[in-house]
A and B are shown apart, each in its own frame.
Chain A
């Protein structure tokens, strides 16, 4: 048809292709039989880095052959190096007359006491591995090297979740290490159908990421889409999962997040079980989950741990809070400056009495207060932990109370702004909360110009916008638009668990074009 969604398979490359070209060059760089040449070549590849240690040694294994061990001193585990690599080599009781490549293999198989060893014939691969913390054993006359995994990875302990807290449920969150995160996930989902595909992104950072899904539950189309989008990423550095999110999402120009991030293993596991796909990015404790709908961002894992009636109530509260945090200040502006007839007489009189002597128009007053609050909030996030309480006292007491006393803002406005702010904290997904904050300002401006009519126009515009959003082929507003009765059981309400179990999981996240 003439108005189908434009395909967005390829992403714009963010870094030019020069590094790319050299990368493919290096792959074909082979070993030579000369130990000296190899060492020089590696030194060259690693830029004569001063933390590259190389040690030549002679082993009783083959006394006449010179060996050399290379490693980056800061990245390897010294104990492993000494106990499980050097000691077996130096005190080997094995005798052999094998030469060159065969000897390398023999050492890898029979001498080294480390689980992961591999023989590599590519100098570039060796250089890459050295950068990860492997050590490399080179032997005179051999045109290959033995890579031994003795990495030491500095990892933060797993701790309680800080961004998504729950009262009931697991109190554990991901950390920055991809292997820890996979470990946490595997501990919850001990299923053979949990597929993990690892890949590497970023020409400079070479960040590990893992694409995870439950085979048979996730739609293969979606998996393919995600995979191809991940493979299409061309960027030099990835420092957080936010980079990946921005690069693979469907539509960039929207305040609404179409990929969810979470630091809770149980939330990820729950998503996987519903057919979503998770992407763990090394170095980020926030795991991406996609595809995700608007309504799923209002669900907390806790919803499923507590009683269904309470969960339903809490969920409705969250939706209400979302709507309030988006529209309340604008409604206040509209009603007090355009539609005073809507207020009950006594309330009007009370508010009017407060406004006597306030120098600013309602819109300016509201914008001022909202901006002040946003600044306070940002200050709260950025400032050193120790002075946190100070800001809240200054913010709440000095600014709020004093401004009212001084007759700069009306008390009603302070109530509205604070309540709006509190409502905003209720939304479980920070990204969604920020979207509400942004849209709030738009609505306030509209309300200042056209009153309620402006708000309605704004709401309609936002609705038109969200209805056109999709997350990996899943309509963003589903199951409301397009409507699905069966999924309503877990959208606005949370039906009792036994009702939810009957749901066929793989039906949940079918992309729209598969429903034929």
Chain B
């Protein structure tokens, strides 16, 4: 059977697409007003530290993925117990993204279409995407990345050309001091979007050759963080802190304002579609992560596990009665507790590994 392999280039593209994902959708840092971008900057830096830790974990046992790693560090039984919630969290996040996806489409372009049909399409599409396995899914990233890149470049160019951005709107820098910024950074900003790099722990083992892995991951992470920060600054420069706080999807609001040459206008549909691609990649990767984790835990064949999980994920996204509840859970439970909890597990794993290693060294 053919070995599953991912090239460094594929890894880099996937990290970028994954990180862009739904980031423009989730406000984040708005209570820091015009300093929201600083929140992202600090979030990215702290997230970078976390990523560095993940990379050390990966280097210690290069051929292990998340379940294997926990098994090695905590033993078969405890490892199994600790990995199970991670698999569930991946699946749950995937389901949340589906919810985001349908909420966004229903809000913007398909106002009268029933949500179940939109969700069904996206789940079916994601299942189809991951059906072939890790290798083909990462190849898909190579196909989608140019599209996303060109669309963003085109969009940014248009925004610049309209003359709407006024970077004075970012002033006064630190007008409200560090307080609100730090409150936003810990723990929300680290958890989302930057803490989600945790997912990569499942895919690093497929990367060949391994020697470029660390630099590829870090540079992709750095680039995309800069891009996210830049996009935040751009929306701030166009909308100002007041309007930014007021609008649900700032990027969409910005795109609505583009009006050039009498026919390049109303590009919000294009932005919606761009967000659709980002969300699709994100939720598929999370679904893939969930399937890999769960199938390793229960010793299920990959496809069987995927076929079982996809309907469950589809079902879970109907549990929340409306989009406000969905957002509230996201803001008050998932981002401050669930994702940091997941990160904490990994940090503990890191520390355990560290202690063990030094223990082994001292005895040996």
A–B interface present (Cβ within 8 A): yes
A3 touches B303 (CB 8 A): yes
B208 surroundings in chain A (CB, below 8 A): 516
A463 touches B3 (CB 8 A): no
Q: In this assembly, does B4 line the interface, its C-beta being within 8 Å of a C-beta of chain A?
A: yes
Given contacts A464-B129, A468-B132, contact A451 B109 (CB under 8 A): yes
A467 touches B136 (CB 8 A): yes
A460 touches B110 (CB 8 A): no
B295 surroundings in chain A (CB, below 8 A): 2
Q: How far is the CA of A3 from the CA of B307 in the complex (A)?
A: 14
Q: In this assembly, does B247 line the interface, its C-beta being within 8 Å of a C-beta of chain A?
A: no
B128 touches A344 (CB 8 A): no
Q: How many A-B residue contacts, CB cutoff 8 Å? A: 105
Count chain A residues whose beta carbon lies closer than 8 angstroms to a beta carbon of B: 33
Given contacts A461-B125, A477-B139, A482-B142, contact A4 B4 (CB under 8 A): yes
Q: How far is the CA of A333 from the CA of B313 in the complex (A)?
A: 32
Please choose the segment from A95-103, A242-250, A335-343, A380-388 that sits at the chain B interface, where 4 or more of its residues have CB less than 8 A away.
A335-343
Q: In this assembly, does B118 line the interface, its C-beta being within 8 Å of a C-beta of chain A?
A: yes
Interface string of B297-340 (1 = CB under 8 A from A): 00001110000000000000000000000000000000000000
B142 touches A483 (CB 8 A): yes
Q: How far is the CA of A451 from the CA of B273 in the complex (A)?
A: 11
A3 touches B132 (CB 8 A): yes
What is the minimal beta-carbon distance from B300 to any residue of chain A, in angstroms? 9
Q: In this assembly, does B70 line the interface, its C-beta being within 8 Å of a C-beta of chain A?
A: no
What is the minimal beta-carbon distance from B98 to any residue of chain A, in angstroms? 13
Given contacts A1-B1, A456-B273, A468-B132, contact A450 B121 (CB under 8 A): yes
Which of B118, B140, B277 has the most C-beta atoms of chain A within 10 angstroms of its own C-beta?
Answer: B140
A464 touches B109 (CB 8 A): no
Q: Which residues of chain A (458-491) have a CB below 8 Å from chain B?
A: 460-461, 463-464, 466-468, 475, 477, 480-483
Given contacts A339-B109, A344-B265, contact A457 B142 (CB under 8 A): no
Given contacts A483-B9, A513-B2, contact A468 B143 (CB under 8 A): no
Q: In this assembly, does B160 line the interface, its C-beta being within 8 Å of a C-beta of chain A?
A: no
Q: How far is the CA of A342 from the CA of B269 in the complex (A)?
A: 8
Q: How far is the CA of A456 from the CA of B125 in the complex (A)?
A: 11
Nearest CB to that of A338 among chain B residues?
B109
B4 touches A460 (CB 8 A): no
Q: In this assembly, does A452 line the interface, its C-beta being within 8 Å of a C-beta of chain B?
A: yes
Q: In this assembly, does A110 line the interface, its C-beta being within 8 Å of a C-beta of chain B?
A: no
B36 surroundings in chain A (CB, below 8 A): none
Q: Which residues of chain B (259-289) have a CB below 8 Å from chain A?
A: 262-263, 265-266, 269, 272-273, 276-277, 280
Contact among A342, A457, A482 with B10 in the assembled complex (CB-CB below 8 Å): A482
Contact among A1, A456, A483 with B276 in the assembled complex (CB-CB below 8 Å): A456
Count chain B residues whose beta carbon lies closer than 8 angstroms to a beta carbon of A: 44
Q: In this assembly, does B144 line the interface, its C-beta being within 8 Å of a C-beta of chain A?
A: yes
A4 touches B133 (CB 8 A): yes
Interface string of A337-377 (1 = CB under 8 A from B): 01101101001000000000000000000000000000000
B302 touches A3 (CB 8 A): yes
Q: Which residues of chain A (412-457) have a CB below 8 Å from chain B?
A: 450-453, 456-457
Q: In this assembly, does A5 line the interface, its C-beta being within 8 Å of a C-beta of chain B?
A: yes
A5 surroundings in chain B (CB, below 8 A): 2
B4 touches A453 (CB 8 A): no
A451 touches B262 (CB 8 A): no
Interface string of B83-126 (1 = CB under 8 A from A): 00000000000000000000001000110010000100110010
Q: In this assembly, does B199 line the interface, its C-beta being within 8 Å of a C-beta of chain A?
A: no
Q: Which residues of chain A (208-244) have a CB below 8 Å from chain B?
A: none
What is the minimal beta-carbon distance from B253 to any residue of chain A, in angstroms? 15
Q: How far is the CA of A148 from the CA of B263 in the complex (A)?
A: 77
Q: In this assembly, does B66 line the interface, its C-beta being within 8 Å of a C-beta of chain A?
A: no
Given contacts A2-B295, A450-B121, A457-B125, contact A480 B109 (CB under 8 A): no
Given contacts A2-B295, A453-B110, A482-B10, contact A460 B125 (CB under 8 A): yes
A468 touches B301 (CB 8 A): no
What is the minimal beta-carbon distance from A254 to any residue of chain B, in angstroms? 13
Given contacts A338-B109, A460-B125, A481-B143, contact A2 B10 (CB under 8 A): no
A482 surroundings in chain B (CB, below 8 A): 7, 9-10, 139, 142
Q: How far is the CA of A450 from the CA of B134 in the complex (A)?
A: 29
A513 touches B3 (CB 8 A): yes
Contact among B125, B265, B269, B302 with A464 in the assembled complex (CB-CB below 8 Å): B125
Contact among B2, B128, B135, B142 with A480 in the assembled complex (CB-CB below 8 Å): B142
A3 touches B133 (CB 8 A): yes
B109 touches A453 (CB 8 A): yes
Given contacts A342-B266, A461-B125, contact A453 B2 (CB under 8 A): no
A483 surroundings in chain B (CB, below 8 A): 7, 9-10, 142
B144 surroundings in chain A (CB, below 8 A): 463
Given contacts A467-B139, A477-B143, contact A1 B3 (CB under 8 A): yes
What is the minimal beta-carbon distance from B12 to any residue of chain A, in angstroms? 10
Q: Which residues of chain A (1-25) have a CB below 8 Å from chain B?
A: 1-5
What is the minimal beta-carbon distance from B71 to any residue of chain A, in angstroms? 17
B262 surroundings in chain A (CB, below 8 A): 344
Q: How far is the CA of A453 from the CA of B3 in the complex (A)?
A: 35
Given contacts A1-B4, A2-B301, contact A456 B277 (CB under 8 A): yes
What is the minimal beta-carbon distance from A342 to any residue of chain B, in angstroms? 5
A480 touches B143 (CB 8 A): yes
Interface string of B7-24 (1 = CB under 8 A from A): 101100000000000000
Contact among B125, B133, B139 with A481 in the assembled complex (CB-CB below 8 Å): B139
B142 surroundings in chain A (CB, below 8 A): 477, 480-483
A468 surroundings in chain B (CB, below 8 A): 132, 136
Contact among B1, B280, B303 with A460 in the assembled complex (CB-CB below 8 Å): B280
A2 touches B302 (CB 8 A): yes
What is the minimal beta-carbon distance from A493 to any residue of chain B, in angstroms? 14
Given contacts A460-B280, A464-B140, contact A4 B110 (CB under 8 A): no
A452 touches B125 (CB 8 A): no
Q: How far is the CA of A121 from the CA of B262 in the complex (A)?
A: 86
Which of B125, B133, B143, B280 has the most C-beta atoms of chain A within 10 angstroms of its own C-beta?
Answer: B143
A342 surroundings in chain B (CB, below 8 A): 266, 269
B129 surroundings in chain A (CB, below 8 A): 460, 464
Contact among B4, B125, B143, B269 with A3 in the assembled complex (CB-CB below 8 Å): B4
Q: How far is the CA of A13 from the CA of B362 in the complex (A)?
A: 66
Interface string of A108-132 (1 = CB under 8 A from B): 0000000000000000000000000
A2 surroundings in chain B (CB, below 8 A): 133, 295, 301-303
Given contacts A453-B273, A481-B142, A482-B139, contact A3 B10 (CB under 8 A): no
Interface string of B130-166 (1 = CB under 8 A from A): 0011111001111110100000000000000000000
A480 surroundings in chain B (CB, below 8 A): 142-143, 146
A4 touches B265 (CB 8 A): no
Q: How far is the CA of A457 from the CA of B109 in the complex (A)?
A: 14
What is the minimal beta-carbon distance from A113 to any residue of chain B, in angstroms? 57
Interface string of A145-156 (1 = CB under 8 A from B): 000000000000
Offer 19 A-B interface pairs, CB within 8 angstroms, sorted by A: A1-B4, A3-B133, A3-B302, A450-B118, A453-B273, A456-B277, A457-B121, A460-B280, A463-B143, A467-B132, A475-B139, A477-B143, A480-B146, A481-B141, A482-B10, A482-B142, A483-B7, A483-B10, A513-B3
Chain B interface residues (CB < 8 Å from chain A): 1-4, 7, 9-10, 105, 109-110, 113, 118, 121-122, 125, 128-129, 132-136, 139-144, 146, 208, 262-263, 265-266, 269, 272-273, 276-277, 280, 295, 301-303
Q: Given known contacts A450-B121, A481-B143, what 15 new A-B pairs fall within 8 Å (CB)?
A: A1-B3, A2-B303, A3-B303, A342-B266, A344-B263, A450-B113, A453-B109, A466-B143, A467-B139, A480-B143, A481-B140, A482-B9, A482-B10, A483-B7, A512-B2
The 5 tightest CB contacts between A and B, nearest first, are A3-B133, A481-B142, A4-B1, A2-B302, A481-B139
